[in-house]
Amino acid sequence: MRSAAVAVTAVSLALLVTACGGGEKSGDQGKDAGKGTGTGAAPSASATSGAPATSSAPAKALSAAELEKLIVEQADLPGHQVQKAKAGEIPVAAAVSADKPSCTPFAHAMSYLAPGKPAVSAHRKVIEVPKTEGESASPEDALGALAAPVTGVALGSYDGQGAQEAFAAMKKAGTDCAGGFTLIGGGERTKISRIAPEPVTAGEEALAWTVTTDVEGMPWVTKVVVFRQGNTLASFSTLSFGGTVKALPKAVVAAQAAKLG
């Protein structure tokens, strides 16, 4: 359990436990985000592509209030518990990085942050409710509840081509960082040993990966998903205290995609 807690703090920074460092208000992420991101890369096998909407004027980001109406809520996800991010649960983007600059967007996506430079962002924590019945308090039931997947959702709205650039940076990271990198944040350096693409379909273009982290010689398996709809980018990072997440958070992704239209 101690190893699990350390891994969660170092890798997610805020999904299951309070972040180690200072926090920021939802919607202010864009002030510090995007360091170390790049644009353009060959798509991974899991990417789905779609042509960006054309417009005579540059795209303008939504307001914080408008974005809050578009992020998933409790009513959108039966069988899940949806919580709004609290102060201190969202790390400062500038405090999260990677030893390889092109991997920083991936480090941000793993850390409850919208990649790139969003003008505003919104965040939710979604906990899958274990499918158990009765009120048994056995150790097995307690462990099952503790191991329930938890997904951090970050929704970012961008000016201009910011969402496309952030998605391209994630695509590049999927190639450049496939063999692993070191995530730096929360006062910790965490070794990501491997990221492998998974198929996913959502929005105009989407990417997903299985992420393997080395925790005291043991593999810690999590999932990361990102998709773009217009100039809005949704990212998802799923983990559990059980140490292994077996499937993508498809219900959460589908619910968020439906709200974005």
Number of neighbouring beta carbons within 10 Å of residue 169 = 27
Give phi and psi for 208, each to the nearest 5.
-150, 150
Task: Give residue for tokens 């703090």.
Answer: 9
Delimit the domains of the chain by residue range: 2-47+58-260
- The backbone torsions φ and ψ at residue 58, rounded to the nearest 5 degrees and listed phi first, read -60, 145
Give exposure, 20-50, as e/b (b: 16+ Cβ within 10 Å): beebbebbbbbebbbebbbeebebbebbbee
> If DSSP codes are grouped into helix, strand and coil, which group holds residue 209?
strand
Q: What is the pLDDT of residues 32-87, one digit of tens each?
A: 433 333 333 333 334 444 444 444 578 899 999 999 999 999 999 999 999 998 87
* Sign, Cα dihedral of 36, 193, 210, 145: negative
Q: What is the pLDDT of residue 56?
A: 58
CATH number of 2-47+58-260: 3.40.1000.70
Give the model's pLDDT for residue 187.
Answer: 83
Q: What pTM does this model have?
A: 0.79
User: For the segment 195-217, what is each residue's pLDDT rounded down to a tens digit?
Assistant: 999 999 999 999 999 999 988 88
pLDDT at position 241 is 81
